Amino acid sequence: MTPRGPELGAGAEFDLVRALVARWGDLARGIGDDAALVAPPRGETMVASTDVAVEGVHFRLDWMSPADAGYRAVMAALSDIAAMAAAPRGMLLSFVAPPDRRQLLLDLADGIGQAARDAGCPIVGGNVARGSELSLTTTVLGSAFAPLARAGAAPGQHVYVTGTLGGPAAAIRALNDGRTPVALHLDRLTRPRARIREARWLAARGATACIDISDGLVGDAGHLAAANALGVEIVADDIPALDGASLDDALAGGEEYELLVTARAPMDEAAFRDAFGIPLTCVGRMSGIAGAGVVVTQGGRRIEAPRGYDHFSA
Amino acid sequence: MTPRGPELGAGAEFDLVRALVARWGDLARGIGDDAALVAPPRGETMVASTDVAVEGVHFRLDWMSPADAGYRAVMAALSDIAAMAAAPRGMLLSFVAPPDRRQLLLDLADGIGQAARDAGCPIVGGNVARGSELSLTTTVLGSAFAPLARAGAAPGQHVYVTGTLGGPAAAIRALNDGRTPVALHLDRLTRPRARIREARWLAARGATACIDISDGLVGDAGHLAAANALGVEIVADDIPALDGASLDDALAGGEEYELLVTARAPMDEAAFRDAFGIPLTCVGRMSGIAGAGVVVTQGGRRIEAPRGYDHFSA
């Protein structure tokens, strides 16, 4: 009886899906069929990415609200298609949760809905299942006429970063130490923004390669180096750190969801800031030395760069 | 250095992804970028579905090998786009596993690869993360010119089922009782086939609505009834049960991954069998009684039908 799609059948699983769909209102479209329909604009390529958030590994509910955890999980997933300069077309959500934590899923859903709304991405499908550990796997579908890849950079090209870095790492340091994080740092941790419009702006103005900063600036610069079989030189003095964040926070902190972009020609940093209210900063260059990885300098001298976060390390 | 896509960076997570990709060979395409690219044929709509398999909930490794569990998880996910009469275009895999069970993921990957090969669906992306509980979320992307939905049936239309039912339920009964299942039953449990080509054949010959049987024949007939705001009458005498499976196995057993299809006109059952080597059987009709749900008759008399499996029930 809803205008959103076929009716769902009976059962606790479907009751829960119904409650989630009711929570999302007009953001949920076509839920209830075996699969979701997504029609890309004519001539565009579909772009898809999947990302999981596991309680205790990717988020802690003593550090953030369930709504924050949901918001963050979805923005993290959206960030991967933002990095391809794709426009979001739909997301599928797969929940695993203990049956006695049903209310928690509804609270997560509020944050998920907010992120979907902020990113302009409808919720087109999903799945709920029983398990002992709470997790949310988000698959995002987008489309682009000319997707921007990690590969595509050339030696000598400038390397830019969007926004200001170090907030999430500074917040996590404070939380780990039992201190109250600076509000601005905590906000960057709990309410990151996938740089969707920003990436499309950059792609239209000569960006050659792009990655989102999920493993830390140095870690993701390493992925960029590997994908291009080139080196990346980062000038630590030029890194736009958030007030109160340390250089290490900005170099190694993960889950920024800012973009690391290479460009054919100098970018108009002022126009970027006018358009999006955040800075675009040149932080280094691609070097022609294959296999050199990432070199970080400070005051003209090479420094030892901390590595990013590796989820699968013990 | 591989022809499959950009190089991956360092770290245990990436080592594991590399090992998985090596396992899949030419089935894995474009892995290593932030998101996967999937280009649907001109004019086709993309179809997407996500499904999770949690150890101990959806599969037990004392009942089947890791390769079987991987095969089954992927075929279950593919079955949802088969039910839309879509051709598979790519899948994304999201693994959650304890770090000490790395070898198990590689064994799962062998079954995943076999299913991807059998279905002709490349592996285009994914994610590995640490967690305490083993799970695999599979998102499948497909495309169709005219996707077949759950809605679309009209009163009086025939209801068909593909294949023979009851095998998975009979195997699970045996395993629960500590007996060795009949090989044919176990095979239906561990190596189900998504009816991809079958659905497209049926869609081209007047099928009006379709659902895959994941919650049991009666359960999914209930979803079909709800989606169409009609009733479904099932004639138990006509249900094609697998040798040795009980009527209840065939009526209520889940995870069949056969198709339940409504048709505008009688289907050519012999031609279907010739094409695919499995039967197509008329098992009932759509009735015009909205809200009547599913009525099952045997020998002309109404019988109480067992309900299907509900993952989220305690």
Reading the block at residue A23, the tokens are 């929570």
Residues 6+ apart with CB under 8 A from B310: A11, A12, A13, B215
Cβ-defined contact of B129 to A12 (cutoff 8 Å):
no
φ, ψ for residue A7 (rounded to 5)? -70, 145
B231-235 and B280-287 beta bridge pairing: antiparallel
How far apart are the CA of A144 and the nearest CA of chain B, in angstroms? 10
From B167's Cα to the closest Cα of chain A, the distance in A is: 22
Please give the pLDDT value at position A312.
40
A210: chain B residues, CB-CB within 8 Å: 34
Can you give the pLDDT at residue A1? 26
> Buried b vs exposed e over A295-314: b needs ≥16 C-beta within 10 Å?
bbbbeeeeeebbbbbbbbee
Task: Please check the confidence at residue A269 and state whether its pLDDT lies above 70.
Answer: yes
Measured CA to CA, the distance from residue A120 to residue A309 in angstroms comes to 29
B81, B124, B131, B80: which is closest to B105 by C-alpha?
A: B131
Q: In A, which residues are within 8 Å of B58 by CB distance?
A: 129
Q: Which of A54, A99, A133 sits opposite B314 (nearest CB)?
A: A99
**What is the pLDDT at residue B17?**
86
The per-residue pLDDT for range A19-63, each reduced to its tens digit, is 999 999 999 987 777 788 888 888 899 999 999 999 999 999 999
- Assess whether pLDDT exceeds 90 at residue B161: yes
Contact predicate A283/A239, CB 8 Å: yes
The minimum CA-CA distance between A213 and chain B, rounded to whole Å, is 11
Q: Cite the DSSP H helix spans in B83-191.
A: 102-119, 167-176, 183-190
Residues A132, B133: C-beta atoms closer than 8 Å:
yes
Q: Which residues of A touch B131 (CB under 8 A)?
A: 54, 57, 133, 135
* pLDDT for res B35: 83
Please answer whether residues A312 and B11 qualify as being in contact, where contact means their C-beta atoms are separated by less than 8 angstroms: yes
Stretch among A95-99, A291-295, A296-300 having the lowest mean pLDDT: A291-295
pLDDT in tens, B33-44: 778 888 888 889
User: Beta strand pairing status for B135-144 and B45-54?
Assistant: antiparallel
* Section B242-261 average pLDDT: 95
Reported as a single tens digit per residue, the pLDDT across B178-217 is: 999 999 999 999 999 999 999 999 999 999 999 999 999 9
Asked if residue A5 has pLDDT above 90, the reply is: no
Across the interface, which of B45, B96, B226 has its CB nearest the CB of A9?
A: B226
Confidence class for position B226, pLDDT limits 50, 70, 90:
very high
Rounded distance, CA B68 to CA B38, Å? 27
- Residues A33-59: b if buried by 16+ CB within 10 A, e if exposed: bbbbbbbbeeebbbbbbbbbbbbebbb
B chain contacts of residue A149, beta-carbon cutoff 8 Å: 6, 33
- The tens digit of pLDDT for each residue in B71-123 reads 999 999 999 999 999 999 999 999 999 999 988 999 999 999 999 999 999 99
Q: If you write DSSP's letter for every residue of B129-147 in order, what string do you get?
A: EE-SS-EEEEEEEEEESS-
Write the DSSP symbol of residue B238: G
Distance CA B166, CA B251 (A): 7
Are residues A11 and B49, on separate chains, in Cβ contact within 8 Å? no
- Tens of pLDDT, residue by residue over A89-131, are 999 999 999 999 988 999 999 999 999 999 999 999 999 999 9
Q: Indicate if the pLDDT at residue B8 is higher than 60.
A: no
Side chain identity at residue B287, one-letter code: S
- Which residues of chain B are within 8 Å of residue A228 when distances are taken between CB atoms? 6
CA dihedral B58, B63, B65, B66 (to 10 degrees): 30
Name the residue facing A151 among B6, B38, B58 (closest C-beta). B6
Over residues A174-195, the mean pLDDT reads 96
Q: Kindly indicate the confidence band of residue B54, based on its pLDDT and cuts at 50, 70 and 90.
A: very high
Q: Which two tokens stand for residue A230?
A: 């080139």
